[in-house]
Chain A
Amino acid sequence: MSKNRIVVGAHYGLRDWIMQRVTALVMLAYTVALVVILLAIPHDHEGWRHLFANHAVKVFTLVTFIALLLHAWVGVRDLWMDYIKPVGLRLTLHVLTIIWLVAAFIYAVNIIWSV
């Protein structure tokens, strides 16, 4: 590759940046809602179970998990991009991160939907 190549952007990055901000808002909304609800319901296993038996709660929880997954993807990917220089190792870490996040999400679905 010529050292005098014309510098131009890779034409991605903006979407990841917006995604990280929007998913942060989703997680914030969920956290606030959950705190408010937890203060209102009975503090026992039955109250907890009743809350998560509600489909709206399940869906909101899983949407938040998707937001968490996307948010963490950009954040962890940024870490690898910042500090890991060898391209092969970085790609491996990217793939492992995706597998780990998807696996964690499937496990979360399994737990939430089994209530």
Chain B
Amino acid sequence: MRFQIYRYDPDKDDKPYMQEYDVKLEATDRMLLDAIVRLKQQDDSLAFRRSCREGVCGSDAMNINGRNGLACITNLKDVQEPVVLRPLPGLPVIRDLIVDMTQFFKQYHSIKPYLINNDPAPEKERKQSPEDREMLDGLYECILCACCSTSCPSFWWNPDKFVGPAGLLAAYRFIADSRDQATNERLDNLDDPYRLFRCHTIMNCVDVCPKELSPTFAIGKIKELMVKRAV
């Protein structure tokens, strides 16, 4: 199988370049990650992240034939040759397919991604009705792989100011949580032309999400709550 892979080692290379590979696959190689691991046996200088190899950890997010996705759950049957692999767009490259996610996680942390509840903790747990729990479906499943935020032009232009689809989905996950008591503070935090309203609803995020979540829905809900609060 033929590959074109983005290579860049800042210690050795002046600038990034694309390297061609031809990899002989084994019968057991079914996912794109299998092929990249096979390729690393050929050329161990290639750097990439991977961990769980089953679409749960989000480590092996990369740009596959121009589209962000997880290598481990991308079937080799579904990719066109030559497979062009690049690092996630818009983030600084550390080496080859590895990007610096600092900016992404800074935005994630800025929305306080944890339950805020000032009531004394009950003996066992804070309970929710099945209906309240259902509100979190489609939100809690996010694995923070950054496929969505790095496919969003608004995040490319303003990664320091725009929270991005992943961060906003997480923000709504806590706004929607019946156990959370900081809805107003969370909405205040996002009432900003950059932090929330850089989203122009182009839905690249929904298009690429490997978990099939909809940050656009979450962003719409946040705006809806802001309107209800303000009008």
Contact = CB atoms under 8 A, between A and B. Distances in A.
Given A9-B188, A11-B188, A82-B198, A16 B157 contact: no
A17 B197 contact: yes
A87 interface: no
A9 B195 contact: yes
A64 to B, nearest CB: 23
A10 B192 contact: yes
A14 interface: yes
Secondary structure class of chain A's binding surface, majority of residues: helix
Contacts, number: 53
B124 interface: no
A12 B196 CA distance: 10
Nearest to A12: B193
Nearest to B162: A82
A7 B154 CA distance: 19
B200 interface: yes
B73 interface: no
Contacts of B193: 10, 12-13, 16, 81
A40 interface: no
A9 B198 contact: no
B157 A82 contact: yes
A81 B196 CA distance: 13
Contacts of A16: 193, 197
Interface string A11-45: 11111111000000000000000000000000000
B190 interface: yes
B230 interface: yes
Contacts of A17: 197, 223
Contacts of A14: 191, 197, 223, 226-227, 230
A81 to B, nearest CB: 7
20 contacts: A7-B195, A9-B189, A9-B191, A9-B195, A10-B192, A10-B194, A10-B195, A11-B191, A12-B192, A13-B194, A13-B196, A13-B197, A14-B197, A14-B226, A78-B198, A78-B200, A81-B193, A82-B157, A82-B198, A83-B157
